[in-house]
Amino acid sequence: MSITLVKTRAGIISGMKSNNPEISVFKGIPYATPPVGDRRWKEPKPLIPWNGERKAIHFGNICVQDRPAKNDFFAKEFPCEDQPMCEDCLYLNIWTPADTASEKLPVMVWLHGGLFVRGYGHKIEFDGEGLAQKGVVMVSINYRLGIFGYLAHPDLSKESSQGISGNYGLMDQLAALKWINHNISEFGGDPNNVTVFGQSAGAMSIQALVASPLASGLISKAIMQSGGGIHMLLDFPSLEYAEKIGLEFASMFQTASVEALRQVSAEDLLVKSKVFHSQEPAVFLPNVDGYMIPEDVSLAEMNGNTADISYLIGTTHDDFQMKLTEENFRKIAAFSYGGYAEKYLQLFEDRAGNLSGFSHHVSERMTAAAVAWAEIQNTLGRVPAYLYRFDHKLPEEDPDGSNKSEPSEATKISVDGIREGDYSGAFHTSELGYLFKTLSHGWRPYEKADYELSDQIAQYWTNFAKNGNPNGNGLAQWKPYTKENHCLMTLDVESKMEKVKENARVSFLCEFLSGKMN
């Protein structure tokens, strides 16, 4: 019988059996004091212990956020349940197969994506039961987002003993990891074997955490999905720049005072932040504050200042396919690659000298960013990273014939004013239902091969969490990326290793991003 009653440092918690009676689930466990009232925009504080037994049978609040429109692509792909939203949102959830507290099972901690402005850890697609059945303790967390998680402001920096502000969402994640370190053994987990895994903004969060000395000893292994690597998509701004953005946002309320902003309702802050975000897309992100994030997270890896642990990192085949004109693509190339832009553009020329295939340039850069990370691991003499690319194209037949949804403002990528994406094939987020073994919750007509691929991916991920190596019986052999083996695993119905540098554009990007360009 799996554990259903535990004693944490803050008090006794009772859970419940999951759909599978061999798995117990504990929902809505608080991991820090609620950041409400005068605690808004402050570092999370430890819990105040409670008396008696606290029932953990309902998921906690999600951070206040903009709900996606009904015709939004991701709203259709991952339906947004009617969840209570509140600034009191620092809760985590645990699925455990352990029968006793002495089992010391590997722990997997999920950090959701959503461009740092949207999402929550207990979406039905992230149900932890499927992974827990593979012999791990699965944890998901909610944390502050958007204006509530990443507002920097000079006054907030003055309040801080470290002279910083803005990284509250990352601080929440750190607080959750500390809670896990202190308490997970009571759930049958091993606090010395914790794998963090996340996608998109969740992966970018992980890259920040492994670059932060504050997380030292809390993370044993890391999996970064479609958001980790060297100069992936978004480089975090400086604290100075983030404070400037904070002042501009405050001016929308005709004030420069943080105390005045603390009196504004969460709903009004959300409405104004949505307007502000539409005008300045790259805002309310983590910032390089010299404390939580000591230096640019890509430079941290290049300088050997990230956690020396095992990494599994990759993307999907069609992660972002941008719809843009040749003129705008040329502008992007000039902005991104400077004096090397022409060399890069030549790689897209056909025999007539016209550019083609550039709608895939973002996906290729994401692959190259992951490869560059692995290259640096080798240069530093560290444990080689495991690379992957999810290649499986999802079945597209929509039974109601209405699969024409569009990405919302919060999920669109903005590059030089280009704000449209193509979400076909193996698109951004398409691997998540497979990973969590939750395909049955989706609308797509999945077949036997899809469910077999789902089990395969879940096994790779949990094998990696157990011992830092994704390989196991019945799986295609996955070799790490080394100086002798420039390969990644292509995850599909028939998964196999594939050479990375057969693509000249990816090869160019790998050299450029890792600083090897001549």
pLDDT digits (tens, 9 = 90+) for 36-59: 999 999 999 999 999 999 999 999
Residue 255 in this model has a pLDDT that exceeds 50: yes
pLDDT in tens, 370-395: 999 999 999 999 999 999 999 999 99
Q: In the prediction, which pLDDT does 402 show? A: 52
Q: What's the rounded mean pLDDT across residues 281-297?
A: 92
pLDDT in tens, 102-153: 999 999 999 999 989 999 999 999 999 999 999 999 999 999 999 999 999 9
Q: In the prediction, which pLDDT does 416 show? A: 33
Question: Is residue 385 assigned to a domain?
Answer: yes
Q: In the prediction, which pLDDT does 12 show? A: 97
Token pair recorded at residue 42: 């402050």
Q: What's the rounded mean pLDDT across residues 420-435?
A: 80
CATH code (residue 390):
3.40.50.1820
What integer best gives the mean pLDDT of the chain? 89
One-letter amino acid at 132 equals: A
Q: In the prediction, which pLDDT does 400 show? A: 52
Average the pLDDT over each of 122-126, 322-326, 396-400, 446-450 and give the range with the smallest value: 396-400
Question: Is residue 96 assigned to a domain?
Answer: yes
Distance CA 37, CA 34 (A): 9
- Higher-pLDDT residue of 94 and 518 is 94
Give the highest mean pLDDT range of 79-83, 188-192, 349-353, 500-504. 188-192
Distance CA 440, CA 392 (A): 17
Q: What's the rounded mean pLDDT across residues 320-334?
A: 78
- Higher-pLDDT residue of 368 and 269 is 269
Residue 484 in this model has a pLDDT that exceeds 60: yes
Question: Is residue 251 assigned to a domain?
Answer: yes
Q: Are 195 and 310 in contact (CB under 8 A)?
A: no
Average the pLDDT over each of 8-17, 96-105, 357-366, 466-475 and give the range with the smallest value: 357-366
* Strand order through the sheet with 5-7: 5-7, 12-14, 53-55
Q: In the prediction, which pLDDT does 413 show? A: 41
Residue 320 in this model has a pLDDT that exceeds 80: no
Question: Is residue 270 assigned to a domain?
Answer: yes
Residue 234 in this model has a pLDDT that exceeds 60: yes
Residue 490 in this model has a pLDDT that exceeds 70: yes
Q: What's the rounded mean pLDDT across residues 326-349?
A: 83
Q: Identify the H or E element spanning 137.
A: strand 137-141
One-letter amino acid at 367 equals: T
Residue 80 in this model has a pLDDT that exceeds 70: no
Q: In the prediction, which pLDDT does 83 show? A: 86
- Higher-pLDDT residue of 461 and 340 is 461
Average the pLDDT over each of 7-16, 206-215, 256-265 and give the range with the smallest value: 256-265
Distance CA 28, CA 372 (A): 38
Average the pLDDT over each of 227-241, 304-318, 443-457 and give the range with the smallest value: 227-241
Question: Is residue 331 assigned to a domain?
Answer: yes
Question: Is residue 518 assigned to a domain?
Answer: no
Residue 76 in this model has a pLDDT that exceeds 80: no
Q: In the prediction, which pLDDT does 398 show? A: 56
Question: Is residue 387 assigned to a domain?
Answer: yes
Q: How many CB atoms lie within 10 A of CB 504?
A: 11
Q: In the prediction, which pLDDT does 112 show? A: 97
Q: Are 140 and 124 in contact (CB under 8 A)?
A: no
Q: Are 199 and 222 in contact (CB under 8 A)?
A: no
Nearest to 16 by CA among 129, 142, 134: 129
Question: Is residue 359 assigned to a domain?
Answer: yes
Q: What's the rounded mean pLDDT across residues 493-508?
A: 83
Provide the domain limits for residue 380. Answer: 5-513
pLDDT band with cut points at 50, 70 and 90 for residue 353: confident
Interior angle at CA 234, CA 231 and CA 236, nearest 5: 95
- Higher-pLDDT residue of 74 and 178 is 178
Number of domains into which the chain is organized: 1
Q: In the prediction, which pLDDT does 460 show? A: 98
Distance CA 325, CA 329 (A): 6
Q: In the prediction, which pLDDT does 354 show? A: 76
